[in-house]
Amino acid sequence: MAIPIIPSLLRDNLEALAADDQRLDGRSRFAGRELEIEVGCLANAEGSCRVRMGDTIVFAGVKFQIMTPYPDRPTQGGLMTSAEIRPVCGPNWEPGPPSEASIEMGRVVDRGIRESGCIDTSELCILPGEKAWQVILDLFAISDDGNMFDAFALAAIAALRTATVPAERFDVGEDYKLPVAGTPIMCSYQKVGGRFVFDATKREELGGDERIHITLGNEGHVHSLQKGLRGVFTADEFNEIMDAAQSRCAELRDIVHNLEESQ
Amino acid sequence: MDENGIREDGRKADEMRPVEIECGVVPVADGSAYIKWGKNEAIAAVYGPMECHPRKVQRQDRAILDVRYNMAPFSTTDRIRPGFNRRSREISKVTRDALESVVDLELYPRSKVRVEIEIICAEAGTRCCGITAASVALADAGIPMSDMVVSVAAGKCNGIVLMDLNKPEDNYGEADLPMGILPMTDELVFLQMDGDLSMDEFKIAWDYNIKAAHDVHKIMIEALQKRYGGDV
C-alpha cells in the first residue's frame, strides 16, 4: 500500500471536531454508517454476501474443495481465509503480491471465526483419512472508504451461515446447508482526535491513530482481539470500547439472523 | 493442573516461565539483546538510524521502523521452510506497530531503524519474547523511547486462566491473550487475542499480564544496568 500523505489540516480538523464530540460526517462516537447486507448475491459461489457500510463495499464468497485430511487429524476438514484487496478499491492500494495490510485483515477475520468454534471441522469429514471438505472463504473489496475489517467480518459470517455444501457436484451425496454453530461479530474502533470512534471512514483512518478490533461470540465471550497501527491506549479507553462492542455486536448478530430467516 | 493448583511444569497459575535477558550479544549491531524465556530463545538486533531504502517507504516527517520477525528453520520440532510466511509477516507488522508507538521517530525524518528478531528456539509465546527483546535492543542502541514495551501473554487451559502458557498448555489451551504494556503508565501498545474467554476470565488474564509485565521489566532493567552500570 502506498504511504498516504496526511494533511496536517485533516488532523487538526479531526482534533477540533473531537473536542466538541463531533465527527466529520456528523455521526456520534459509537454510531455506525448506514449498513446494507445482501446474501446469496453471487450465483457461482456456494455462499456469498455483499456488505455496504457507507461507501465501503466488500464481498465474501465461500467455495468448497475436497482435501485429503491432515495425517494427525484424519476426521477433520479445514477452513481457509484470504483477503484480496485489488487496486480497484482505492488510490492507496497498489497491484502486486498481498500487502501486509491485506494479510492482517484476512488473518484477523479468520481468527474471529475460527476461534469462536462456529465451524466444527469434524463435521466436514466425508471419508476419514481420505476425503474432507475444505471451506474457502475469499474476501474481496471493491471500494475502501474505511473500516474494511468490520465489513469483511460481517460479510464472512453471513456468507458462511448461508452457504450450501455442494456435495452433488462432487458426487459425494446430497447438498446440505453448511453447519455454523455461532455468529461471531467483529467491531472495530479507531483512535481519532484522541478518542476511539466506531466504524471510522477512510478520512478518519488517514488522520487517526491506532485501531482495535474486537470479535465477540453469541454469549458475549471474547474470541479475538487485535491492535493495529502506531498508538498508545489505556485500560479505561479499552473498557469503554469493549462495553460499546458488547451491545453493538448483539445488534449486528440480530441483523444477520433476521437476514437468514428472510432468505 | 493438580489439586494443589500446581501446573505440570511446577508453576502456579499466575507464574511466568523463568526469563533471562542479556544485552549486546550481536557485537556489530548498534544495539542487541538475547532473551531466554522458558525454552524460547530469541536474538534481537537494531541497526540505525540510517538512510531509508527503498525511497518508496520513506516518510518525510519521521523515521520508520523496519521490523522483521523470523523463525530459524531449526527452531521448532518440524523444520520450518525458510522465508517470510503470512504468520511472520503479521507478527512483524504488529511488533512494528507496538514499537513505533514508543520510539521518538520524529527525531529522525526520512530515515529508518532496522529491528531484526530471530527466534532460534521456539516453545510458545515467541511474539512476546521477540517484542520484549527488541525493546531492550532499542534501548541498548540508545534510540530515544518514551518507555520500553514489555510483552507478556496469559491464556486459558482446561478452563483455568494461566499466565504464560508453555507448549503443551498452548497446544491444548483454549485462549491466548498477548499484550504489550508500558510499565511506567500501564498503557498498552500491543494487544491480540484468540480463543474463548468470558468477560470474567478476560479480566483475570488482563490483571495477570499487568503484574507479570512489571516483573519482566525488572529483568530488562537489570540487563541494561549490567551492561552500562548505574540507574536506568
Q: Has residue A147 got a pLDDT over 70?
A: yes
pTM: 0.85
C-alpha to C-alpha distances, B23 to A111, B46, B214, nearest whole angstrom = 35, 11, 19
For B142-194, the pLDDT digits (tens) are 999 999 999 999 999 999 999 999 999 999 999 999 999 999 999 999 999 99
Across the interface, do A224 and B101 touch by the CB < 8 Å criterion?
no
Distance, in Å, from the CA atom of A255 to the CA atom of A230, rounded to the nearest integer, reads 33
Compute the average pLDDT of residues A130-158: 94
Q: Name the residue facing B196 among A100, A115, A230 (closest C-beta).
A: A115
Across the interface, do A227 and B57 touch by the CB < 8 Å criterion?
no
Q: Where would I find the beta strands (DSSP E) of chain A?
A: 35-39, 47-53, 56-67, 78-85, 125-127, 131-143, 164-165, 176-177, 185-192, 195-198, 211-216, 222-228
Compute the average pLDDT of residues B99-105: 97
- Asked if residue B54 has a cis previous peptide bond (ω within 30° of 0), the answer is yes
Distance, in Å, from the CA atom of B74 to the CA atom of B7, rounded to the nearest integer, reads 28
Reference A149, options A199, A194, A81, A204; nearest CA is: A199
Greatest Cα pair distance in chain B: 60
For A52-77, the pLDDT digits (tens) are 999 999 999 999 999 999 999 999 99
Q: How confident is the model at residue B114 (pLDDT cuts 50, 70, 90)?
A: very high
Cell numbers at residue A129, please? 483419512
Distance, in Å, from the CA atom of A255 to the CA atom of B84, rounded to the nearest integer, reads 39
Closest residue of chain B to A97, computed from CA coordinates: B86
Q: How confident is the model at residue B1 (pLDDT cuts 50, 70, 90)?
A: confident
Q: Name the residue facing B191 among A100, A111, A225 (closest C-beta).
A: A225
For A87-137, the pLDDT digits (tens) are 878 878 887 888 889 999 999 999 999 999 999 999 999 999 999 999 999
Q: Has residue B232 got a pLDDT over 60?
A: no
C-alpha to C-alpha distances, B133 to A262, B86, B118, B150, nearest whole angstrom = 53, 22, 10, 9
> Helices A148-161 & A100-116, crossing angle to 10 degrees?
40
Q: Name the residue facing B188 among A107, A230, A233 (closest C-beta).
A: A233
Reference A181, options A223, A231, A217; nearest CA is: A217
Contacts of A227 in chain B (CB under 8 A): 94, 97-98, 188-192
Residue with cell 464481498: A59
